[in-house]
């Protein structure tokens, strides 16, 4: 009989530890530390120290919806904003300029390569996703946001995955808030399905989706 | 009374052609409209109502590709006919004016149809296709709609606060 080498044993042990850690940190399993505590009243939030909000701008209609959503966010509390924008997305840059005009605090735009261009063959996707992930991870490391707000598509999945790394390592829990597009009435988008197990709060704008996905919160008329 | 037609940020050839058709112009006249304003986007070349049809209906028509202040044109109109894209629909509904959303039958994206159908089911908007638009206007499909509730994104701000209060 051939005994497994120490390398194989180590790998199995590491995988098991990672699985156990994911079980404890992923919101999907309901064991996310502090989740219940955070839900207790929001009055205490007012007057608290300012926070850094990371906003992931998808493109086109997603960015337009995000602009509407940001009108509900208190920029005095989120005194610093980090916008993650896909390289070449001029429309999103214009929207950032419009949103930030006459706003206090500070903001920064982080340009990242697209995780997958429209029509790009799936075979080359892993390379571009890895490149995007690298840029996103560097941004998150530099800015260390306190919360991530995203509404798809593409890059937002990469940002959410990168945001899990400090959580898995026990360094910082960066909550992820995902808002599914108003255009999604009966089914989640691909980004929505991918982010669903990762997001601390998952918001849908039509009631049917909340029935299908128990962790989703239905909030109408957000946009 | 005036009607504002908008295709949004891209183009929608079938819609622009539909609002040039004599039966559409006649339907407008039948409903008491005298003015037709069309934002055509990249379909601006498709706007070519027959002068005879215009004269027969008595409609004053104007068209352009993009408007500097589309919201003002919406405010001036008694009826908004828009491409059924999410952004266009939300802009139109926010105005409180009656809205007919026109679904692009050539588009593969079924969400447009989904969302238009859902809003129509709620009685917030009328839905048509380019081929049925004239009939929808003639039938007054846009009458008796419910106003769409004002957008309120503040619950999202509350959720962010809850998540960051530690």
Cis peptide before A62 (omega within 30 of 0): no
**pLDDT of A43:** 44
Average pLDDT over chain B reads 92
Report the residue of chain A nearest B150, measured CA to CA. Answer: A221
* Contact state of B163 with A201 under an 8 Å Cβ cutoff: yes
- Averaged pLDDT for residues B37-42: 95
- Averaged pLDDT for residues B26-35: 96
pLDDT at B149 over 60: yes
| Cβ neighbours of B85 in A, within 8 Å | 61
What is the distance in angstroms between the Cα of A159 and the nearest Cα belonging to chain B? Answer: 17
Q: Which of A34, A217, A220 shows the shortest C-beta gap to B166? A: A34
Q: What is the pLDDT along chain A (223 residues), one digit of tens a residue?
A: 566 788 888 888 888 888 888 888 888 887 665 444 455 444 444 556 899 999 999 887 899 899 999 999 999 999 999 999 999 999 999 999 999 998 999 999 999 998 777 677 878 888 888 999 999 999 999 999 999 999 988 789 999 999 999 999 999 999 999 999 998 999 999 999 999 999 999 999 999 999 999 999 999 999 9
Q: Are B30 and B120 contacting, i.e. CB atoms less than 8 angstroms apart?
A: no
The more confidently predicted of residues A210 and B69 is A210
SS3 A42: coil
DSSP codes of every residue in chain B: -EEEEE--SS--HHHHHHTTSHHHHHHHHHTT--EEEEE-GGGGGG----HHHHHHHT-EEEEES--S-HHHHHHH-SEEEEE--HHHHHHHHHTTS-EEEE--TT---SHHHHHHHHHHHTTS-EEE-GGGHHHHHHTTTTTTPPPPPPP--HHHHHHHHHHH--
Beta-bridge partner residues of B127 = B101
Q: Are A151 and A178 contacting, i.e. CB atoms less than 8 angstroms apart?
A: yes
- For residue A180, CA distances in Å to A24, A84, A126, A186, B99 come to 25, 18, 24, 11, 24
Domain limits, chain A: 50-106+122-218
* Contact state of A72 with B156 under an 8 Å Cβ cutoff: yes
| Cβ neighbours of A146 in B, within 8 Å | 164
For residue A16, how many other CB atoms are within 10 A of its CB? Answer: 10
**pLDDT of A195:** 97
SS3 A182: coil
- For residue B113, CA distances in Å to A179, B69, B98, B108, B131 come to 21, 27, 19, 10, 15
What φ, ψ does residue B9 adopt, rounded to 5°? -80, -20
Report the residue of chain A nearest B119, measured CA to CA. Answer: A185
What is the distance in angstroms between the Cα of A128 and the nearest Cα belonging to chain B? Answer: 26
Domain B2-164 has CATH 3.40.50.300: no
Average pLDDT over chain A reads 88
B108 contact A CB<8A: no
What φ, ψ does residue A112 adopt, rounded to 5°? -130, 150
For residue A173, how many other CB atoms are within 10 A of its CB? Answer: 21
Q: Tell me the per-residue pLDDT of B92-131, one tens digit each, with 9 for 90 and over.
A: 998 889 999 999 887 766 678 888 999 999 999 999 999 9
Distance separating alpha carbons of residues A92 and A110, to the nearest angstrom: 12
B146 contact A CB<8A: no
Distance separating alpha carbons of residues A135 and A110, to the nearest angstrom: 9
The fourth-level CATH superfamily of domain A50-106+122-218 is: Glycogen Phosphorylase B; (3.40.50.2000)
Domain limits, chain B: 2-164
- Averaged pLDDT for residues B136-142: 95
**pLDDT of B37:** 96
Q: What is the ipTM of this complex?
A: 0.85
Q: Which of B160, B162, B165 shows the shortest C-beta gap to A149? A: B160
Distance separating alpha carbons of residues B133 and A121, to the nearest angstrom: 39
């Amino acid at each position: 009989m051939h005994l497994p080498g120490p390398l194989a044993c180590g790998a199995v042990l590491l995988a098991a530890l990672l699985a156990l850690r994911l079980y404890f940190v992923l919101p999907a399993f309901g064991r996310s530390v502090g989740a219940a505590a955070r839900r207790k009243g929001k009055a205490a939030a007012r007057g608290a120290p300012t926070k850094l909000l990371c906003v992931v701008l998808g493109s086109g209609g997603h960015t337009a919806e995000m602009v509407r959503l940001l009108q509900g966010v208190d920029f005095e509390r989120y005194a610093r904003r980090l916008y993650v924008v896909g390289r070449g997305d001029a429309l999103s840059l214009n929207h950032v300029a419009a949103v930030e005009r006459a706003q206090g605090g500070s903001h920064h735009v982080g340009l990242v390569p697209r995780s997958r261009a429209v029509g790009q063959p799936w075979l080359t996707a892993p390379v571009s996703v890895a490149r995007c992930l690298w840029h996103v991870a560097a941004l998150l490391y530099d800015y260390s946001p306190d919360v991530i707000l995203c509404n798809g598509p593409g890059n937002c999945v990469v940002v959410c995955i990168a945001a899990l790394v400090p959580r898995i390592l026990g360094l910082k829990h960066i909550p992820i808030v995902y808002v599914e597009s108003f255009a999604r009435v009966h089914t989640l988008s691909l980004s929505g399905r991918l982010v669903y197990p990762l997001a601390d709060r998952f918001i849908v704008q039509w009631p049917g989706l909340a029935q299908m996905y128990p962790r989703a919160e239905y909030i109408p008329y957000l946009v | 009374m005036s009607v504002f037609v908008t295709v949004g940020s891209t183009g929608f050839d079938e819609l622009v052609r539909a609002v040039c058709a004599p039966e559409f112009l006649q339907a407008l006249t039948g409903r008491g409209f005298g003015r037709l304003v069309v934002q055509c986007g990249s379909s601006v070349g498709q706007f070519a109502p027959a002068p005879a049809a215009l004269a027969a209906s008595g409609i004053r028509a104007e068209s352009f590709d993009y408007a500097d202040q589309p919201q003002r044109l919406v405010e001036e109109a008694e009826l908004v006919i828009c491409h059924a894209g999410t952004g266009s629909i939300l802009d139109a509904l926010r105005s409180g004016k009656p809205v007919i959303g026109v679904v692009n039958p050539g588009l593969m994206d079924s969400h447009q149809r989904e969302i238009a159908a859902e809003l129509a089911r709620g009685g917030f908007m009328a839905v048509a296709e380019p081929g049925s638009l004239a009939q929808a206007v003639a039938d007054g499909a846009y009458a008796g709609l419910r106003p769409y509730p004002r957008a309120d994104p503040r619950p999202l701000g509350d959720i962010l606060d809850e998540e960051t209060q530690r």
